[in-house]
Amino acid sequence: MENAQGGAESPRSPCFLRRFFWLPVLKRQAPAASLVLAAGAGALYLAQSSYWSVTADIAGARAGSTSGFMNMGAQFGGGVTAVLTPVIAAHAGWRYPFFFAAALSALGALAWLAVDPAKNLECAGTQ
């Protein structure tokens, strides 16, 4: 791709990224849109392995129940998302559910700063 001055665009430039993500949607190019969606899903599942492994590390003998509880919370979040997204969009506009999801994602990323995978969780009063 070329920029306005006729030179090649860098893959790191904002214009390149904007074209990569929005051009398939605006031009209704199904193969390119499918590629962008597949890349997003791949990035999601690449990151997912870290929280399963940290859960297994910090839970010790209770890794199964801890992973189940974590998975239940994720499924509950997906259900709440399906209900809240149209409500937020109806009251505030179609862009605001994405802003809300981004804010929750940022909070989740900040919560990871409090996790110490070297420290095991121990229930009080049990051995």
Answer yes or no: is 27 within a domain.
yes
- Which pTM value belongs to this model? 0.58
pLDDT at 1 over 60: no
Domains identified in the chain, total number? 1
Residue 51, pLDDT score: 77
Answer yes or no: is 8 within a domain.
no
Q: What are the two backbone dihedrals, phi and then psi, of residue 108, each rounded to the nearest 5 degrees? A: -65, -40
Answer yes or no: is 126 within a domain.
no
pLDDT at 26 over 70: no
Answer yes or no: is 125 within a domain.
no
Tell me the helices (H) and strands (E) count for the chain, helix number first: 4, 0
Answer yes or no: is 9 within a domain.
no
Judged by DSSP in three states, 93 sits in coil
Which structural domain range is residue 82 located in? 14-114
Answer yes or no: is 21 within a domain.
yes
Answer yes or no: is 95 within a domain.
yes
Identity (one letter) of the amino acid at 103? A
Answer yes or no: is 89 within a domain.
yes
Q: pLDDT band at residue 43, thresholds of 50, 70 and 90? A: confident
The least confident of 14-23, 50-59, 62-71 is: 14-23
Mean pLDDT of 45-68: 84
The least confident of 4-13, 43-52, 99-108, 115-124 is: 4-13
On the CB side of 54, CA atoms within 13 Å amount to: 14
Q: What is the pLDDT of residues 61-119, one digit of tens each?
A: 888 888 899 889 888 988 998 999 999 999 998 888 888 888 988 898 898 888 887 78
